[in-house]
Chain A
């Protein structure tokens, strides 16, 4: 799809340039301090997997990046733009450059699979109906769902919903992909298929990605780098091998459970 169709210019980032920059992020819900000084950097084309125990604020981190939540303190820069204080229009301009796969896919249950994928295209492009239909078929084809165009989300399995969610997240050709537990609740075979799919799409679209997951196998497959959260802070950051060989008690405990 031509970039002109999306009504925006592709931001050109040089390799290695930080695309996401999180500095000293704090976030609390009522009395519970979820994030307590998280700092992370993701460079262009890199995939960062964020791991950690349940309730350590991994999903909150993604919601902060896309502006669904606001940090209590700290700074979030996306492609060099600080998002704190951005108006809704400016934030939305950034959001169309990001694709978000929700933990439970969050497909619009009143729309068919095809309409779900077409939704961002209807909203943010000037495509004709036939161009849109072609693009929807292409996207659904890329996730192996081209024959389920007219099904309702309630008629397909959890794994299929995630595939459709992924197609919808990629509809506007995002530069940044945020994945919230892409393999959670799926059987090992479907998880592996989703991992392969994510890996292929990341390469095809040269995406910068942040993946929140509990699944170490998935993290090892799709991520270049891992960040392990504990008690609202980054306990350790590095490659899978670096974390696996760590002497830190918490990191060892986390990896031991999986092995």
Chain B
């Protein structure tokens, strides 16, 4: 088990090195990057918006009763804003995207691998690490912070709706109270840490897809392992990055 894990990390290291080398040489595949941004970013919008709204609603309902016990109901907008922009928005976005995009990339590249389409690319003198992997990884890195903004917005808006239905409060007042103690760094660092989630999701999913073996069963395994591993590493990275952010942006 330990040997296999070390071997996996070693292979991932080699794979990453090939991607880096492919990334810094021409051509830069701008067209494919835009296509992947649409595939990974735009098409994830409805899902992250819905997830954000659900989290905001639940957070408002749960926090309301908890804060009421301590007579701190007026702190609800601040609790929702801090929870969402610091942790819930980035993590929910990371996990939702790792589910949708991780499975998609793992299955797509896995299918291309077992049907020799990746070999056909190489035989046509096209570097698959550049065309297939780098473009997807970069699209994940760029799309994740943008999707996090959507999750945050939907979460806060849904949180306000849930709150105002229970105890009417204007949107202006909710925002004023919620963002009263929020600085730009409160918002910036957590949002951009999702770029690291994007790197993890893109790299792990492409790696699992490109090493697929064993026909359609192998494609299924790659899709599953892409989701499981990228979700796991997103959670681990979140713990590490939260600590680092607290050190550098106290």
Across the interface, which residues of A come within 8 angstroms of B124, CB to CB? Answer: 95-96, 119-120, 123-124, 168
Q: Report which of B115, B125, B126, B127 forms a contact with A106, defined as CB distance below 8 A.
A: B115
Do the beta carbons of A102 and B116 come within 8 Å of each other? Answer: yes
Do the beta carbons of A96 and B125 come within 8 Å of each other? Answer: yes
Contact with B along A30-74 (1 / 0, CB 8 A): 000000000000000000000000000000000100111000000
The reply to whether the CB of B11 lies closer than 8 angstroms to some CB of chain A is: no
Using a CB-CB cutoff of 8 Å, which residues 114-140 of chain A contact chain B? 119-120, 123-124
Across the interface, which residues of A come within 8 angstroms of B123, CB to CB? Answer: 66, 68, 95, 98, 100, 102
Q: Report which of A88, A109, A120, A123 forms a contact with B117, defined as CB distance below 8 A.
A: A109
Do the beta carbons of B125 and A108 come within 8 Å of each other? Answer: no
Q: Report which of B111, B119, B126 forms a contact with A68, defined as CB distance below 8 A.
A: B119
CA distance A119 to B111 in the complex (A): 19
Using a CB-CB cutoff of 8 Å, which residues 166-218 of chain A contact chain B? 168
The reply to whether the CB of A13 lies closer than 8 angstroms to some CB of chain B is: no
The chain A residue with its CB closest to the CB of B123 is A100
CA distance A68 to B118 in the complex (A): 10
The chain B residue with its CB closest to the CB of A108 is B117
The reply to whether the CB of B120 lies closer than 8 angstroms to some CB of chain A is: yes
Across the interface, which residues of B come within 8 angstroms of A68, CB to CB? Answer: 119, 122-123
Dominant SS among interface residues on chain A = mixed
CA distance A120 to B131 in the complex (A): 13
Q: Report which of A96, A100, A123 forms a contact with B120, defined as CB distance below 8 A.
A: A100
Report the count of interface residues on A (CB-CB < 8 A).
Answer: 24
Do the beta carbons of B116 and A123 come within 8 Å of each other? Answer: no
Do the beta carbons of B120 and A102 come within 8 Å of each other? Answer: yes
A68 to chain B, nearest CB (A): 5
A241 to chain B, nearest CB (A): 33
CA distance A68 to B128 in the complex (A): 12
CA distance A40 to B204 in the complex (A): 41
Do the beta carbons of A124 and B125 come within 8 Å of each other? Answer: yes
Contact count band on B: 10 to 19
Across the interface, which residues of B come within 8 angstroms of A124, CB to CB? Answer: 124-125
Contact with B along A78-104 (1 / 0, CB 8 A): 000000000010011101101010111
Q: Report which of B111, B115, B120, B127 forms a contact with A88, defined as CB distance below 8 A.
A: B127
CA distance A168 to B122 in the complex (A): 14
CA distance A102 to B120 in the complex (A): 8
Do the beta carbons of A123 and B115 come within 8 Å of each other? Answer: no
Q: Report which of B111, B116, B127 forms a contact with A104, defined as CB distance below 8 A.
A: B116
CA distance A150 to B81 in the complex (A): 51
Using a CB-CB cutoff of 8 Å, which residues 119-173 of chain B contact chain A? 119-120, 122-127
B219 to chain A, nearest CB (A): 13
Across the interface, which residues of B come within 8 angstroms of A91, CB to CB? Answer: 125
CA distance A93 to B123 in the complex (A): 11
Do the beta carbons of A108 and B126 come within 8 Å of each other? Answer: no
B240 to chain A, nearest CB (A): 34
Contact with B along A3-38 (1 / 0, CB 8 A): 000000000000000000000000000000000000
A168 to chain B, nearest CB (A): 8
Do the beta carbons of A123 and B122 come within 8 Å of each other? Answer: no
CA distance A93 to B125 in the complex (A): 7
Across the interface, which residues of B come within 8 angstroms of A88, CB to CB? Answer: 127
The chain A residue with its CB closest to the CB of B120 is A106
Across the interface, which residues of A come within 8 angstroms of B125, CB to CB? Answer: 91-93, 95-96, 120, 123-124
Most buried by B among A104, A106, A109: A106
CA distance A242 to B126 in the complex (A): 41
Contact with A along B30-55 (1 / 0, CB 8 A): 00000000000000000000000000
8 contacts between A and B (CB under 8 A): A66-B123, A95-B122, A95-B123, A96-B124, A106-B117, A107-B120, A108-B120, A120-B124
- Chain B residues with CB under 8 Å of chain A are 111, 115-117, 119-120, 122-127
Give 10 new A-B contacts, CB below 8 A, not counting A108-B117, A120-B125: A63-B119, A66-B123, A67-B122, A68-B119, A95-B122, A102-B123, A106-B115, A106-B120, A123-B124, A124-B124
Q: Rank and list the top 8 A-B pairs by shortest CB-CB distance, nearest first.
A: A92-B125, A106-B116, A106-B120, A95-B125, A100-B123, A120-B124, A96-B125, A102-B116
